[in-house]
């Protein structure tokens, strides 16, 4: 998880969220460690059971009205106890400027006090998305990410196997490049795995052996690039090994774990004569069919078993892929 301070938060979002620091400058180095926000409510009145002080505190119209009333009565003990907690910062929405006593308390306790020009609901939505993007776990991977038929396909493999060349062919076939060489993967809340370029300076660029650095945006236009995509399929390229048995049927599904998420994975052997770009296109379409409950390999298996055993009273029993391959070859020889 990346380190995020209040100072960095203000640099990133001050203009977009209409933020203004009015007190507590000494606490700008405080760390924001969670993606959730807190409405203090009862804590402002001195009730601190289950108070989540480690979160950003968002103060709306109701909380601010109470604070103003307490400040006018001169009873600030509950507010002083509130500001004594170590919290990242306090954000007041609707640009509600507090009384001088509250500003003094924030400065005294070193709690950044921030004004926001947005409504509370809008701020909560925007700030939650920002924190999720900043604080969700990330991983950099040597790979290429391409959007194929609306599905994010992560192409992995050893250096020099042809990942970039394969991605270039996919771009020529009207698919979109997300990132080349180094992909920044991120696990967002809700079980979403996304990928984007790890280096913004090299965004939309590719390194192709023999050509050097090419600008995909300039060469192929805006329709050939995408800033970010979900990762829904991993294609691993490897040199064809005659001693290794590759999947010929497709009954068994394989996956790889990335940042705690299981992602479907296909091992694609590479050798002269194989058009890997077309195979990746078909893999993406096939994966979409599987996600909708359509499994061609299983249907073929059932049809073959029914055709060779029409008098069997019980339902066909699934067999292992290797046994099915032998069974299929014998069946077609008889025909």
CA distances from 73 to 76, 107, 111 (A): 8, 21, 23
What are the phi and psi torsion angles at 295 (to 5°)?
-120, 100
CA–CA distance, 304 with 335 (Å, rounded to integer): 13
Residue 142 among the catalytic residues: yes
Given 13, 181, 217, 286, the catalytic residue: 181
Work out the number of other CB atoms within 10 angstroms of the CB of residue 276: 22
| Spatial CA neighbour of 44 closest among 71, 24, 19, 22 | 71
Active site residue 180: no
The number of C-alpha atoms within 13 Å of 237 and in the hemisphere containing its C-beta is 26
Q: Which two tokens stand for residue 236?
A: 């691993």
Any idea what the Cα angle at residue 87 is, between residues 73 and 25, rounded to 5°? Answer: 80
61 is catalytic: no
Q: What is the CA radius of gyration of the chain?
A: 28
- Catalytic site residue 253? no
Which residue of the set 248, 254, 320, 322 is catalytic?
A: 248
d(CA 288, CA 293): 9
Question: What whole-number distance in Å separates Cα of residue 230 and Cα of residue 206?
Answer: 20
Catalytic residue among 95, 142, 271, 331: 142
**Enzyme catalytic residues:** 142, 163, 181, 248
């Amino acid at each position: 998880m990346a380190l995020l301070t209040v100072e960095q938060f203000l640099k990133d979002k001050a203009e977009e969220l209409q933020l203004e620091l009015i007190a507590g400058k000494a606490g700008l180095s405080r760390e924001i460690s969670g993606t959730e926000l807190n409405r203090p409510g009862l804590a402002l009145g001195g009730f601190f059971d289950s108070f989540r002080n480690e979160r950003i505190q968002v103060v709306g119209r109701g909380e601010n009205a109470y604070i103003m009333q307490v400040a006018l009565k001169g009873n600030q003990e509950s507010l002083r106890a509130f500001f004594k907690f170590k919290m990242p910062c306090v954000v007041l929405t609707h640009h509600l400027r507090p009384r001088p006593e509250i500003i003094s308390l924030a400065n005294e306790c070193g709690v950044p006090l921030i004004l926001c020009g947005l409504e509370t609901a809008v701020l909560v939505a925007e700030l939650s998305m920002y924190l999720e993007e900043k604080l969700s776990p990330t991983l950099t991977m040597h790979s290429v990410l391409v959007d194929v038929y609306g599905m994010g396909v992560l192409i992995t493999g050893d250096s020099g196997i042809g990942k970039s060349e394969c991605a270039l062919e996919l771009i020529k076939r009207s698919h979109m490049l997300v990132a080349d060489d180094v992909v920044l993967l991120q696990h967002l809340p809700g079980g979403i795995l996304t990928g984007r370029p790890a280096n913004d300076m090299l965004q939309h660029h590719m390194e192709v052996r023999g050509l050097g650095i090419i600008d995909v945006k300039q060469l192929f236009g805006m329709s050939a690039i995408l800033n970010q995509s979900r990762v829904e399929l991993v294609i691993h390229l490897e040199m064809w090994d005659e001693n290794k048995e590759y999947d010929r049927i497709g009954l068994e599904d394989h996956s790889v774990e990335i940042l705690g998420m299981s992602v479907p994975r296909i091992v694609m052997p590479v050798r002269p004569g194989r058009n890997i770009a077309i195979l990746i296109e078909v893999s993406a379409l096939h994966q979409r069919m599987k996600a909708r409950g359509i499994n061609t390999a299983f249907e073929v298996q059932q049809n073959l078993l029914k055709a060779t055993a029409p008098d069997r009273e019980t339902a066909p029993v699934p067999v292992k892929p290797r046994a099915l391959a032998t069974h299929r070859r014998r069946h077609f020889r008889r025909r």
